[in-house]
Structure 1
Amino acid sequence: MDTTFPRLLLRHAAERPDAPAMREKEFGIWQTWTWSRLVLLVRHIACGLHQAGLARGEHIVVIGTNRPRLYATMLASQALGAIPVPLYQDATAAECVFPINNADVRFAFAEDQEQVDKLLEIRSQCPQLAGIWFDEPRGLRNYLAAGLASLDSLAEEGRAFAQLHPDFFDTEVGLGRPDDVAAMFFTSGTTGHPKGVVHTHRTLLDRGRAGAEFDHLTSSEEVLAYMPPAWIGQNIFSYAQWLACGYVVNCPESPDTVMIDLKEIGPTYYFAPPRVFEGLLTSVMIRMEDAGAIKRAMFHGFMNVARRVGPALRDKRPVGWLDRIEYAIGDALVYGPLRNNLGFSRVRVAYTAGEAIGPDLFSFYRAIGINLKQLYGSTETAVFVCMQPDDQVRADTVGIPCSGVEIRVAENGEVLVRSPGLLKEYWRDPEATAQAKTSDGWYHTGDAGFLDAHGHLKIIDRAKDVGRLADGSMFAPKYIENKLKFFPYIKEAVAVGDGREKACALINIDFEAVGNWAEKRNLPYAGYTDLAQKPQVYRLIQDCVEKVNADLAADEKLAGGQIHRFLVLHKELDADDGELTRTNKVRRGFIAEKYAVLVDALYGGRDEQYIETQVKFEDGRTGSVSATLKIVDARTFAPVRAAA
């Protein structure tokens, strides 16, 4: 699109000043921000930032949850030609040092006391960090740090400046160009320092518009913004597409109230990574465990109907009238109430992305009448590369290339992309930029995949992760892990086996789901570590593993990747301990090194292994967790040969 974010803001404010732009829930009440109210705040913050010395082309850090005032700060920065850099609000103070120094950040916006404390803690390591503004004043009354002030005071200074210079803001917005840098996102890489992905107004808005046109989005959509703004998925859906379409973005009161707020808003356009859909399904299954026998029987009976009939109805394929009647009864008694309970009654389009989703998990939501689809993209491609049309949705593909995108598969199976949404560069890393982008504009995704006969892209795994067992069988760890994570009792899994004679797995139980299961069986436990090592829990997880093995046996290419041995970890994998990225992707290499003694025990034929692991608590303290972990063999199955 031949425009910029601040220009779109001004256009919406001029065309429909009293229409809602955002809503924010405070003290249990939804507060509406109109376009005219929002643009006034942006104008005042921009003038205040100008007086503070923010220069065109300079970076400013924004750290916090989704809030109208956080979005206003980003827009105000862009109005001056500066570049907002959103950071993950759950990042530790130490994790903020590299991006702040790498981008020469002098100014930062922090949502509350927690974020202010982080920035003050690292100030000695970031001497150029001169100004910090906060939104929520609670707990900050007696803070006397130099350069620390409230956003209200900044906006008030800007209001006074705007009265003396009424044309300043509009003039600055007019100086902006579509090819100016609009934002920088630091990737939460699985290895090494994160890289700053540089995007322009044109790249972000072009992809935002392409996605909107694909699904016929309008200004009447309702969106819930609850994922970190530092994740480009959230940024595209609730910032770029918000300004491209002019729909309403709703900000939950807190992370703890997201499910309640989801039901109250009833979004029409919804986006979540697979782990959110996994968590929702787990909560459903826990509730069904608590239900009476009749209700459980009705649920499972109608779910069998849904799995058989629902996807075909969603894809408008022929369905017999008896099946239609049975599904309609199920919709009245089970699927409709379930959608309402999840907050999905009004969802017209729902997407999942960020990593592969298990086919069983994906099919569950479509079966109960939710138009859940997959899309494919990354931070570097501004999200939208492939999308699934409403009538061509399959669990094993991520759709067709959307507007302006070309796809090519290299000889080694890596997917290459050429698109108007490609990153401009990696900040201060010309070597990485040259490796990622060819001279003729092709981006190396690092994913292994292929285009099927219908033109749909199928992603197998990360190219670097797809391996071979010692006998030459294909080993796709992510595919195996996703199948394991479909079960409500398994929260995370790490499959190992590349170059070895068989596949094994390290598993995290879902503490809530397994705890609920244990309590119903009067099985006492004293915390996660104790519960994880109960023999009854091992039998529960073994049943899940063996069901996955049976499924893998039916896949000719992946039958050799069945899990022969597994163990249940003594602690949950955690981003604070370096085991996951901030977007909850497994840091496979780090885990293999950290838990090498466990991997060796899996392949050494041992029945148990002692381990002690250092952990970091939420308050910054460190401690250790130790346990003797059991190691169990799982039943495997002969490959099912396809009929001749």
Structure 2
Amino acid sequence: MAERTADTFPRLLVDLAANRPDDVAMQEKRYGIWQPMTWKGYADRVRDTAHGLAALGVERGDIVAVLGDNRPEWLIAELAAQSIGAAVVGIYPTSIGDELRHILTLSRARVVVAEDQEQVDKLLRLGQLEAARREELAAAGQEPDADELPLRIEHVVFYDPHGLEQYDHPWLMDFTELEATGREWGEGHEGWYDQQVAAGDAGDIAIICTTSGTTSKPKLGELSHQNLLAMADNLTEVDPVTKDFRYVSFLPFAWIGEQMLAVACGLSRGLTISFPEDAATQRADLREIGPDVMFAPPRIWESMLSEVQVRIDEAGRLKRGVFGWGYDVGDKAARARVQGKKGGNAAIRFLADQVATRPVRDQLGLARIRRAYTGGAPLGPDVFRFFHAIGVNLKQIYGQTEICGIAVVHRDDDIAFNTVGVPIPGTDLRISDDGEILLRSASVFRGYHRQPEETAKTVDQEGWLHTGDAGYLDEDDHLVVIDRQKDVLTAPDGSRYSSAFIENKLKFSPYVEEAVVFGPKEAGQGMTAMITIDPGTVGSWAEHERLTYTTYTDLAGKPEVYDLLAEEFTRANEDLPGAIRVKRFLLLHKQLDPDDDEITRTRKVRRNVIDERYADIIDALRRGDDRVSISSRITYQDGSSVLRELDLDIFDLTTYEIPAGRGRRPVWSGRR
């Protein structure tokens, strides 16, 4: 494993620019062509941007906000702020309204680096609302609440000028203008930048990442250079990464997972980072680059599996048969491999890989993958098993923002599909008397920004991070995560269970996008579920079945779709203990939306919002009703909206039987 040469990100960049000036540090695809940037070019742009931020009044200890999709300018702004002793707080590009205001006011950011017209419009609108509200208060002779933090934005620097040519707001500045200002400012401050980089300390805040915020507004976790680089060192001790590894950055930098690999591992090991052209070309660009290392939350792996299922279902009988044979060979080999054994005849495995599973890996952009991780939420064991069967050495990791995203990981040849592995080097783990997972390492965060009371509740005096998750160690000392402690329930037979475990069973179906499971409130009620369908896979199935529909609501309400899901859930119930099998389910008329606060930006369900917003549906499910009437406001693209009354059916699985002679659907197929 290559040793890193410095203890802060800016100093790592300086060393890389000095030792590998002409190697490619990052590349961005624009107009179908990869545009490379060398380590020297990267360092020069960081220097100019740092000078530009200083010219805008950014000082040591300040926080710069960055709002937008992944582009080189995101990382340039991050490293520039860190170079002069400031830090960055990343904001998800989908954030709006109160969530956006909460992060900006709590961080007291005066400079925001924003991607494009969409993000600039959000910020300008936020500023207008703030000004209007203060005018109203002044006119009424009132003062803002004492605990209300003001919006402090003074400058908005955008890095995609398309559509902003006619904007003349005093806040606005093009990123290239910031760099030009920096070059001019730097001419009068010779040696200042080098002094600032040298003055940086490993314990300084490097980034501020928002927590998932499943039960409240997100908190801002302060992570130091030391925190992040300790995590990178410990992870790469388990799974070595070299400078020749390729990495494709397509998940938001506001998420600790992307900071973990693209920044911490990327800079400490000198990886080349590639940025896809846009969301529509991600899969093609991923395939073109063929990354060696990849980290993604479960929804990405689940969507890849769904894509495979759709493509194979559209293939002819011969191709389906060949893949089915190759998958079975790979599955048997994978089951042996994860136990450290050899799996079957090597020649047969090679042939199966060449004709069946390798082409699928290639289509997914995973042909060269050597390190693949998932985390942020549980991944269903069946999905996990699928990727191992096609030759992807996928590993589950466990961690939180508060410990730099990773503390526990699977090891090669020691993978159990229902666990998250064992602690990485330098990490202590124990289970408290009440079943809570506690972690301690050099990667435990500095604390929550401006929330010392919350920090004290999370990290005790001995340095143990109280995760709030319930779990246990199995007979092989692998960690098994049950769920958030507050969400662990007790079945009628007295056994403890997790709603998330049941939900993952249901979500293994390619037709399910989200599943929210509700436990009984009274004896005899049983488990129930509210489901949102996957419009892509269900739509493809409906087309194959010649089933016509107009909207998502129309499709979700079809009796044929209910029957489709009933069979899927009956199969899932077969793998569940009797006490926690799902008895009734409802297909929701809409998808869960982070803009409605129903799920977080990382697609974790906000159960408190669901419990309140869908109380009538939940009550009807538990009572055993056949149908529930709700009011739903539909908003159209032109901004108009209408209130509609809808009747939603509830399906009783206790009276359903799978048609005689119908076998279990293969893992790799969506066909019944």
Provide the TM-score with structure 1 as the length reference.
Answer: 0.95
1:181 corresponds, among 202, 205, 208, to: 205
Cα 1:380–1:145 shift into 2, 3 Å: same
Q: Secondary structure at the match of 2:648?
A: strand
Q: 1:576 matched to which residue of 2? A: 595
Cα 1:319–1:343 shift into 2, 3 Å: same
1:291 corresponds, among 315, 319, 341, to: 315
Kept in 1: contact 2:66–2:88 (CA 8 A): yes
Q: Matched residues, percent identical?
A: 40
1:208 corresponds, among 221, 232, 236, to: 232
Q: Distance in 1 between matches of 2:340 and 2:353?
A: 17
Q: Secondary structure at the match of 2:212?
A: coil
Q: 1:457 matched to which residue of 2? A: 479
Q: Distance in 1 between matches of 2:108 and 2:54?
A: 17
Q: 1:383 matched to which residue of 2? A: 405
Q: Which amino acid in the other structure matches residue 599 of structure 1?
A: I
Matched, 1:36 2:55: no
Instruction: Tell which deviates more after alignment, 573-582 or 614-623.
Output: 614-623
Q: Secondary structure at the match of 1:123?
A: helix
Matched, 1:83 2:87: yes
Q: Distance in 1 between matches of 2:640 and 2:451?
A: 34
Q: Secondary structure at the match of 1:319?
A: coil
Q: Distance in 1 between matches of 2:593 and 2:272?
A: 33
Kept in 2: contact 1:5–1:75 (CA 8 A): yes
Corresponding residue pairs, total: 630
Give matches, 1:493-512, under 5 Å: 493-497=515-519, 499-501=521-523, 502-512=526-536
Matched, 1:101 2:105: yes
2:459 corresponds, among 437, 443, 464, to: 437
Q: 2:568 matched to which residue of 1? A: 544
Q: Which amino acid in the other structure matches residue 167 of structure 1?
A: G
User: Can you list the C-alpha shifts for 1:23-71, whole angstroms capped at 9, x where unaligned?
Assistant: 1011111111110000000000111111110011011100111111110
Q: 1:593 matched to which residue of 2? A: 612
Q: Distance in 2 between matches of 1:266 and 1:87?
A: 28
Q: Secondary structure at the match of 1:464?
A: helix
Kept in 1: contact 2:221–2:445 (CA 8 A): yes
Q: 2:659 matched to which residue of 1? A: none
User: Can you list the C-alpha shifts for 1:1-30, whole angstroms capped at 9, x where unaligned?
Assistant: 861110000010011000111110111111
Matched, 1:164 2:168: no
Q: 2:556 matched to which residue of 1? A: 532
Kept in 1: contact 2:333–2:349 (CA 8 A): yes
Kept in 1: contact 2:333–2:344 (CA 8 A): no
Q: Distance in 2 between matches of 1:617 and 1:193?
A: 28
Cα 1:319–1:193 shift into 2, 3 Å: closer
Q: Secondary structure at the match of 1:193?
A: coil
Q: Distance in 2 between matches of 1:618 and 1:317?
A: 56
Q: Distance in 2 between matches of 1:335 and 1:437?
A: 45
1:327 CA displacement: 2.8
Matched, 1:61 2:65: yes
Kept in 1: contact 2:8–2:201 (CA 8 A): yes
Q: Distance in 2 between matches of 1:583 and 1:626?
A: 31
Matched, 1:634 2:653: yes
Q: What CA RMSD, in Å, does the superposition of the two structures yield over aligned residues?
A: 1.7
2:250 corresponds, among 226, 239, 243, to: 226
Matched, 1:474 2:496: yes
Q: 2:23 matched to which residue of 1? A: 19
Kept in 2: contact 1:190–1:581 (CA 8 A): yes
Q: Which amino acid in the other structure matches residue 373 of structure 2?
A: Y
1:48 corresponds, among 31, 48, 52, to: 52
1:130 CA displacement: 0.6
Q: Secondary structure at the match of 1:335?
A: helix
2:216 corresponds, among 192, 198, 202, to: 192
Kept in 2: contact 1:314–1:369 (CA 8 A): no
Q: 2:623 matched to which residue of 1? A: 604
1:624 CA displacement: 4.8
Q: Secondary structure at the match of 1:170?
A: helix
Kept in 2: contact 1:314–1:371 (CA 8 A): no
Q: 1:447 matched to which residue of 2? A: 469
Q: Secondary structure at the match of 2:576?
A: helix
Kept in 2: contact 1:315–1:390 (CA 8 A): no
Q: Which amino acid in the other structure matches residue 372 of structure 1?
A: L
Cα 1:621–1:421 shift into 2, 3 Å: farther
Q: Distance in 1 between matches of 2:408 and 2:638?
A: 41
Q: 1:642 matched to which residue of 2? A: none
Q: Distance in 2 between matches of 1:192 and 1:441?
A: 24
Q: 1:116 matched to which residue of 2? A: 120
Q: Secondary structure at the match of 1:62?
A: strand
Q: Which amino acid in the other structure matches residue 407 of structure 1?
A: L
Q: Which amino acid in the other structure matches residue 594 of structure 2?
A: A
Cα 1:456–1:49 shift into 2, 3 Å: same
Matched, 1:564 2:615: no
Q: Which amino acid in the other structure matches residue 327 of structure 1?
A: R
1:257 corresponds, among 252, 273, 281, to: 281
1:163 CA displacement: 2.7
Q: Distance in 2 between matches of 1:242 and 1:54?
A: 26
Q: Secondary structure at the match of 2:575?
A: helix
Cα 1:619–1:470 shift into 2, 3 Å: farther
Q: Secondary structure at the match of 1:25?
A: strand
Q: Distance in 2 between matches of 1:52 and 1:616?
A: 41
User: Can you list the C-alpha shifts for 1:266-306, whole angstroms capped at 9, x where unaligned?
Assistant: 00001110100100111111111211122222222332332
Long gaps (5+) in structure 2: 131-149, 657-672
Provide the TM-score with structure 2 as the length reference.
Answer: 0.91
Kept in 2: contact 1:133–1:151 (CA 8 A): yes
User: Can you list the C-alpha shifts for 1:71-125, whole angstroms capped at 9, x where unaligned?
Assistant: 0011000011011011000111432101111111111000111111111111142
Q: 2:142 matched to which residue of 1? A: none
Q: Secondary structure at the match of 1:394?
A: coil
Instruction: Tell which deviates more after alignment, 294-303 or 595-604.
Output: 294-303
Q: 2:133 matched to which residue of 1? A: none
Q: 1:640 matched to which residue of 2? A: none
